[in-house]
Structure 1
Amino acid sequence: MSEKETTAARPLIDDEAFMSVADLKAYVAEVESAKASQSYVAMQAADQAKKDLIERLSRPIELTPEKISAFMHRVKLAAERGEREMLIGRFPSELCTDHGRAINNTEEGWPETLIGLPLQVHQIWKDKLQPLGYGLKAMIIEWPEGFPGDVGMFLTWK
């Protein structure tokens, strides 16, 4: 056999190295399925973490002198940096009876929609900090899929 005949009879690349279109589609489907499965598990974990957070924030906390002192120290540090407000709480809009609608629309009665710890924070501000000249504002700070997500509560001063 001549060299020319041997080269013609031998494929340049082994046929087994090629993947058929059907095999390629099956491979892509497996990869996409694995990604979706991981995404689903991650979404379930995030959903459970949010439920746990809502459960925890649904209950008021005990305020100790140490916690109050640490909080006021954070306020002083923020003021020293020239800031005029400080995020004091972030919570899911599910801790509002209207899921944050009144906060988003800056309605005057928005505090009446709060429950749990956010309501306690508002009451502490009203009883202790407002008489000292501090302000309190709330706004939706996250919009997952276009819906109100987390609410941010800010202590303000001038």
Structure 2
Amino acid sequence: MTALLRPEDLRKISDDEDMAKAKKAMERQRKDDEEQAGLREIFMSRDIHPEAVARVNAAVRRAAEQGNRQLLAVTFPASYCNDKGRRINNLEADWPDSLEGFAKKAYEFYMAQLKPLGFKLNAQVLDYPGGMPGNIGLYLTWG
């Protein structure tokens, strides 16, 4: 004969199910965190490509042929800035000091190679998830 389930049995079933869901969510979050940490590490250690000049020439030529006077050159999470994008968001003059990793190297490349030719570089917050700076874009401009 099969016994009827008691309320405490049902609570245990619900609690066990909730615990399994929580463990699964925690594991998914751990994997996401590891992936994000790996991407951040790659961004921070990335160097300017040896063919950067040729790539920049090709990109700005294509943009100019399409009638554009700017090019989105680099995007990265605001969290990669040492101030989480605050200076860029507030249009502060010292925003380049907030750059880290590849963004800093790209800015240094701009200063050494592109600024002397008359190019300008602007930084902008591209989105605001949860009301906070999300992604940053570095725009190369001319003309």
TM-score, normalised with respect to structure 1? 0.70
How much does 1:42 deviate?
A: 5.4
For 1:88 and 1:70, the matched residues in 2 are separated by: 11
**Equivalence for 1:19:** none
Is 1:68 equivalent to 2:61 in the alignment? Answer: no
**Equivalence for 1:109:** 94
How much does 1:78 deviate?
A: 0.7
- Output the amino acid matched with 1:73: A
What stretches of structure 1 of length at least 5 have no aligned partner?
1-31
- Output the amino acid matched with 1:138: A
How much does 1:54 deviate?
A: 1.1
Computing the radius of gyration over CA atoms, which structure comes out larger, 1 or 2? Answer: 1
**Equivalence for 2:111:** 126
**Percent of matched pairs sharing the same residue:** 33
How much does 1:58 deviate?
A: 0.9
Pairs aligned (count):
133
Q: Give me the CA root mean square deviation.
A: 2.6
Distance 1:84 1:34, change over 3 A: farther
TM-score, normalised with respect to structure 2? 0.76
1:104-124 deviation per Cα after TM superposition (whole angstroms, max 9, x unaligned): 000000001111110111111
**Equivalence for 2:80:** 95
How much does 1:43 deviate?
A: 4.8
Which residues in structure 2 correspond to 1:129-144 (within 5 Å)? Answer: 129-144=114-129
Asked if structure 2 preserves the Cα contact closer than 8 Å seen for 1:54 and 1:94, the reply is no
What stretches of structure 2 of length at least 5 have no aligned partner?
1-17
For 1:115 and 1:157, the matched residues in 2 are separated by: 24
Which SS does the other structure have where 2:72 is aligned? strand
**Equivalence for 2:45:** 59
Is 1:83 equivalent to 2:68 in the alignment? Answer: yes
